Amino acid sequence: MTVQIVQTALEVGLIYSLIALSLFLSFSILNICDLSTDGCYTLGCAVGAVCTMAGHPILAIPAAMGAGACSGFMTALLQTRFGIQSILAGIIVNTALYTVNLAVMGFSSNVSIFGTDTIFTLFKGLGDSEMWKSWYKLILLACIVFAAALFVRWFLSTRLGLSIRATGDSPAMVRASSINPAFTVTVGLCISNSFTGLAGCLIAQYNKQSDINLGTGMVTIALASLVIGETFFGRGSMGWRIFGVIFGSCLYRFIISLALRLNVPTEAFKLVSAVIVAIALIAPKAKNMIMFSRHRRRALKSRAGAALKEKGERKNA
Amino acid sequence: MLKISHISKTFNPGTVNERKALSDLSLELADGDFATIVGSNGAGKSTLFNAIAGTFYTDDGFIELDGRDITFEKEHVRSRYIGRLFQDPLMGTAPNMTIGENLSVAYLRASGGRKGIFSRISKKEKELFRKQLEMLNMGLEERMSSPVGLLSGGQRQALTLLMATIVTPKLLLLDEHTAALDPATASKVLELTKKIVRERHITCLMVTHNMKQALELGDRTLMMADGRIVLDVNGEERSHMKVEDLLQQFAQNAGKSLDNDRILLSTEENV
């Protein structure tokens, strides 16, 4: 594996880790299956691309995050106000977003922003050493993800953040503690989806284009990162868990790059993704099974040994 | 303090599963009253609690707490001044959050949930939580940062009691909160309940299936059957009442509903 491949894997992994962070908030913390991720990611991408093309690459970031938050608000509204199940609410919003995304891109399925300034080209201009020119993208992305991770960690320790955690952990307790679950779910989903929007905006400026089908299967990828992170890092402190999510996302990209190197055809990528997710999910259980069978074998062996010894003693007597 | 006037609640109205859970129930509790409630399964005790706490709105009647009409107030608004404990010790706490975090969520009631939502828990508040935990005498004050899921059922119920009363509620609803605990832990939690209720002068309603408890605890005993209060004793009358008397009353009321069923069945047979 060359440095180039590692670098690209890290860069894309960092962008995707924002979606994983988003799912960390909705899936792990709020205990909600938010399936609008695919559409929301494309929305962020479309809004980001259009804003960048208009000459506002920096403004594109809050715009995409705002668009993501709006999408999250809709999902939350359907769930809390009208009592639609979270999975259904996500699917409904996801479907609606397809048209919205097309509309944002001026009813074309593809927008290219080659030749315009992006946050990456602006950032590149800050230095001119050889080193800087090859690593500036990674540095910028690392800064953004670090800031996002710090924000999540801080936010979850505030009173509002604690209420959101409690909402996902024990609904009965929340209702008995003067917290309005509708409010906490709404805030949680808005923040979560604004991260997805941010990831979309970054990928648009990174790839210099936006495509209507870009988001397909994003939920699986983000879930994979989440699960890999939790498998490796367990359920420790909040900061540790957030770091695990980012690590999981980068590791996932490494595995994909490895598959690329092994000449796995691109058509098989979705299958590879699904297999990785399944393996990550199976791993903890499989570990337990192996431990148990080892323990059983040892226990049976020692019992058989004891019986044999007893038999021998009786014979001797 | 609490004034319930003529509330009714029917579940699944208009279907074959229609069930009248509360029918024209009225109840008044004075400030600082501690009343126990007994009644057979399905008598409407938990439904009454849910109606007071706002899990659902009643079909008829009004509920007033401390002179304020709360009939149509939402559950999370009412929980600002109504503390609640369930039979299941797992329900009142968040297992994946630490003891300190659980307490601080409960303490949100102090600020009404609005002030300083972006602020973090202060040192002063942590000190308050520690003092409160010391009161439990379970050594939990040393384990503030361990997750609640690691505690035993009794410890969790004691913690829930603390959470429900950390901001003194106007009304405390105890729904058989010691029923799932072993006898030693149950009596410990009960002692604690008595102590807190007495010291803070909290108006309290408690469901129990223990007739002895029903007469010994608090200062008033209520019996429910068929969504009504069929017995309400206090003062002199209550102090003379024995467990046997209460049991007899209980059997009578339970028998009545049994008889009703029998009548229903027999008439159906005759048709």
Task: Note whether A226 and A308 are same-domain residues.
Answer: no
- Interface check for B117 against chain A (CB to CB < 8 A): the answer is yes
- A53-67, A166-180, B198-212, range with greatest mean pLDDT: A53-67
Residue to test with chain A: of B49, B56, B96, most A Cβ within 10 A? B96
Task: Note whether A163 and A305 are same-domain residues.
Answer: no
- The reported pLDDT for the residue numbered B112 is 56
Q: For every residue of A24-75, which 3-state class applies, written as one string?
A: HHHHHHCCCCCCCHHHHHHHHHHHHHHHHHCCCCCCHHHHHHHHHHHHHHHH
Is A160 in contact with B93 (Cβ distance < 8 A)? Answer: no
Query: Taking chain A, what is the end-to-end CA distance rounded to the nearest angstrom?
Result: 69
Backbone φ/ψ region at B158: left (φ over 0), alpha (ψ -120 to 50), beta:
alpha
Q: Which amino acid is at B196?
A: I
- Interface check for A172 against chain B (CB to CB < 8 A): the answer is yes
Is A179 in contact with B113 (Cβ distance < 8 A)? Answer: yes
Euclidean distance between CA atoms B47 and B10, whole angstroms:
10
Cβ pair A257, A7 in contact under 8 A: no
Q: How far is B249 from chain A (nearest CA, A)?
A: 34
- Interface check for B112 against chain A (CB to CB < 8 A): the answer is yes
Question: Cα torsion for B96, B100, B105, B111, to the nearest 10°?
Answer: -170
- Interface check for B214 against chain A (CB to CB < 8 A): the answer is no
Euclidean distance between CA atoms A176 and A166, whole angstroms:
11
pLDDT digits (tens, 9 = 90+) for A46-84: 999 999 999 999 999 999 999 999 999 999 999 999 999
Average of pLDDT values for B96-119?
Answer: 80
Task: Note whether A228 and A210 are same-domain residues.
Answer: yes
All residues of chain B having their beta carbon less than 8 Å from the beta carbon of residue A178 are 76-77, 79-80, 108-109, 112-113
Question: Average pLDDT over chain B, rounded to whole?
Answer: 86
Cβ pair A250, A302 in contact under 8 A: no
Task: Note whether A212 and A309 are same-domain residues.
Answer: no
Residue to test with chain B: of A167, A173, A175, most B Cβ within 10 A? A173
Look up residue B145 and give its two tokens: 């940062």
| Rounded percentage of chain A residues whose pLDDT exceeds 90 | 59
Closest CA in chain B for residue A173: B92
Q: How many CB atoms are closer than 10 A to CB B150? A: 12
Task: Note whether A293 and A210 are same-domain residues.
Answer: no
Closest CA in chain B for residue A159: B117
Q: Look at residue A182 and tell me whether its pLDDT is greater than 90.
A: yes
Task: Note whether A228 and A308 are same-domain residues.
Answer: no
Q: Look at residue B50 and tell me whether its pLDDT is greater than 80.
A: yes
Average of pLDDT values for A278-288?
Answer: 83
Cβ pair B146, B138 in contact under 8 A: no
For B76, the closest of A159, A169, A175 (CB atoms) is: A175
Q: Look at residue B266 and tell me whether its pLDDT is greater than 70.
A: no
- The reported pLDDT for the residue numbered A176 is 82
Q: Look at residue B254 and tell me whether its pLDDT is greater than 80.
A: no
Average of pLDDT values for A153-175?
Answer: 91
Residue to test with chain B: of A159, A187, A191, A237, most B Cβ within 10 A? A159
Task: Note whether A31 and A152 are same-domain residues.
Answer: yes
Calculate ∠ Cα B262-B48-B94, nearest 5°. Answer: 120
- Of the two residues B249 and B20, the one the predictor is more confident about is B20
Helix then strand then coil, in percent of chain A rounded to 5, is 80, 0, 20
For B75, the closest of A169, A175, A235 (CB atoms) is: A175
Closest CA in chain A for residue B83: A176
Euclidean distance between CA atoms B102 and A161, whole angstroms:
12
pLDDT digits (tens, 9 = 90+) for B66-81: 989 999 999 888 988 8
Its sign, for the CA torsion B232, B238, B242, B245, is: negative
Euclidean distance between CA atoms A106 and A111, whole angstroms:
9
Instruction: Give whole-number Cα distances, A278 to A33, A63, B105, in Å.
Output: 18, 35, 36
- Interface check for A178 against chain B (CB to CB < 8 A): the answer is yes
- Interface check for B113 against chain A (CB to CB < 8 A): the answer is yes
Q: For every residue of chain B, which 3-state class applies, written as one string?
A: CEEEEEEEEEECCCCCCCEEEEEEEEEEECCCCEEEEEECCCCCHHHHHHHHHCCCCCCEEEEEECCEECCCCCHHHHCCCEEEECCCCCCCCCCCCEHHHHHHHHHHHHHCCCCCCCCECCHHHHHHHHHHHHHHCCCHHHHCCCEHHHCCHHHHHHHHHHHHHCCCCCEEEEECCCCCCCHHHHHHHHHHHHHHHHHHCCEEEEECCCHHHHHHCCCEEEEEECCEEEEEEEHHHHHHCCHHHHHHHHHHHHHHHHHHHHHHHHHHHHC
Cβ pair A177, B160 in contact under 8 A: no
Cβ pair A111, A46 in contact under 8 A: yes
Question: Average pLDDT over chain A, rounded to whole?
Answer: 90
Q: Look at residue B263 and tell me whether its pLDDT is greater than 50.
A: no
- The reported pLDDT for the residue numbered A102 is 95
All residues of chain A having their beta carbon less than 8 Å from the beta carbon of residue B109 are 177-178
All residues of chain A having their beta carbon less than 8 Å from the beta carbon of residue B95 are 169-170
- The reported pLDDT for the residue numbered A145 is 96
- The reported pLDDT for the residue numbered B271 is 35
- The reported pLDDT for the residue numbered A64 is 96
DSSP classification of residue A129 = S
Average of pLDDT values for A160-169?
Answer: 93
Look up residue B237 and give its two tokens: 């009358």
Calculate ∠ Cα A152-A158-A160, nearest 5°. Answer: 95
Q: Look at residue A317 and tell me whether its pLDDT is greater than 80.
A: no
pLDDT digits (tens, 9 = 90+) for B127-173: 999 998 998 888 899 999 899 999 998 899 999 999 999 889 999 99
Average of pLDDT values for B97-109?
Answer: 89
B270 band by pLDDT with thresholds 50, 70 and 90: very low
- The reported pLDDT for the residue numbered A308 is 86
B241 band by pLDDT with thresholds 50, 70 and 90: confident
- Interface check for B101 against chain A (CB to CB < 8 A): the answer is yes
| Rounded percentage of chain B residues whose pLDDT exceeds 70 | 92
All residues of chain B having their beta carbon less than 8 Å from the beta carbon of residue A175 are 55, 75-76, 79
Residue to test with chain B: of A162, A175, A177, A186, most B Cβ within 10 A? A177
Pairing of strands B228-234, B220-225: antiparallel
Euclidean distance between CA atoms B217 and B228, whole angstroms:
22
For B120, the closest of A157, A176, A179 (CB atoms) is: A157
Is B163 in contact with A177 (Cβ distance < 8 A)? Answer: yes
Q: Look at residue B175 and tell me whether its pLDDT is greater than 60.
A: yes
- The reported pLDDT for the residue numbered B255 is 61
- The reported pLDDT for the residue numbered A98 is 94
Average of pLDDT values for A170-196?
Answer: 91
Task: Note whether A62 and A114 are same-domain residues.
Answer: yes
pLDDT digits (tens, 9 = 90+) for A212-223: 998 888 888 898
Calculate ∠ Cα B50-A178-B202, nearest 5°. Answer: 70
pLDDT digits (tens, 9 = 90+) for A113-140: 888 889 998 998 888 888 888 889 999 9
Beta strands in A128-275 (DSSP E): 209-211
| Rounded percentage of chain A residues whose pLDDT exceeds 70 | 99
For B92, the closest of A165, A173, A178 (CB atoms) is: A173
Task: Note whether A305 and A212 are same-domain residues.
Answer: no
CATH architecture observed for domain B2-92+169-270: 3-Layer(aba) Sandwich (3.40)
- The reported pLDDT for the residue numbered B269 is 39
- The reported pLDDT for the residue numbered B49 is 93
Is B101 in contact with A165 (Cβ distance < 8 A)? Answer: yes
Closest CA to A23 of A275, A280, A276, A220: A220
Task: Note whether A81 and A114 are same-domain residues.
Answer: yes
Q: Look at residue A246 and tell me whether its pLDDT is greater than 90.
A: yes
Provide the number of structural domains found in chain A: 2
Size of interface A-B (CB pairs under 8 A): 89
Euclidean distance between CA atoms B73 and B41, whole angstroms:
28
Residues 201-230 of A with CB under 8 A from B: none
DSSP, collapsed to helix, strand or coil, labels residue A247 as: helix
- Tokens 């690593």, residue? A135
- Interface check for A240 against chain B (CB to CB < 8 A): the answer is no
Who's near A301: CB < 8 A, 6+ residues apart?
none
All residues of chain A having their beta carbon less than 8 Å from the beta carbon of residue B163 are 173, 177
For B96, the closest of A169, A172, A176 (CB atoms) is: A169
Q: Look at residue B178 and tell me whether its pLDDT is greater than 80.
A: yes
Q: Domain-by-domain residue ranges, chain B?
A: 2-92+169-270
Is A162 in contact with B116 (Cβ distance < 8 A)? Answer: no
Q: Which amino acid is at A202?
A: L
Residue to test with chain A: of B56, B73, B103, B105, most A Cβ within 10 A? B105
Task: Note whether A206 and A173 are same-domain residues.
Answer: yes
For B93, the closest of A159, A170, A181 (CB atoms) is: A170
A231 band by pLDDT with thresholds 50, 70 and 90: confident
- Interface check for A160 against chain B (CB to CB < 8 A): the answer is yes
Domain that holds residue A175: 3-263
Its sign, for the CA torsion A183, A186, A192, A195, is: negative
